[in-house]
Amino acid sequence: MNVGVAHSEVNPNTRVMNSRGMWLTYALGVGLLHIVLLSIPFFSVPVAWTLTNIIHNLGMYVFLHAVKGTPFETPDQGKARLLTHWEQLDYGVQFTSSRKFFTISPIILVLQIVPTSFSLYMNVLSPTHLPPGQALLSCFSQYFIHV
């Protein structure tokens, strides 16, 4: 390891999600958030999954899509200053492994909540994680499956 040596990246934001152990750290962070929510005595498992989804999706929205610029001083003459982290990720190249991972991870979290509860309360409580037709589909399936 070279301590005190400058990195070769013009913008370190572009490669941070591909760094060693980042995906595992991300998954462990989401798991830890869920465990902390489960440890609150009056939260049931469906409520904990719903809150995990809401907190995760709001946090990732702010981190990836709302905040612009970099926390570093970059020599790119201000090009990264106007870009969100999602736009800077992998130099803007589409369909990379990092982008696929961060696209599929909220979908996997949504699929965790589906088996735990089909109640209308959960779908109304957490609309931030639902694709446009899923709330309607959930209400439809609840009506026709459980009647």
Q: Are 46 and 125 in contact (CB under 8 A)?
A: no
Question: For 46-66, what is the mean pLDDT?
Answer: 90
Q: Is the pLDDT assigned to residue 67 strictly greater than 50?
A: yes
Instruction: Return the pLDDT at 27.
Output: 92
CA distances from 93 to 15, 64, 98, 113, 125 (A): 12, 15, 10, 31, 35
108, two tokens? 């996997």
> What does pTM read for this prediction?
0.70
Q: Where is average pLDDT lowest: 12-21, 28-37, 45-54? A: 12-21
pLDDT at 80: 79
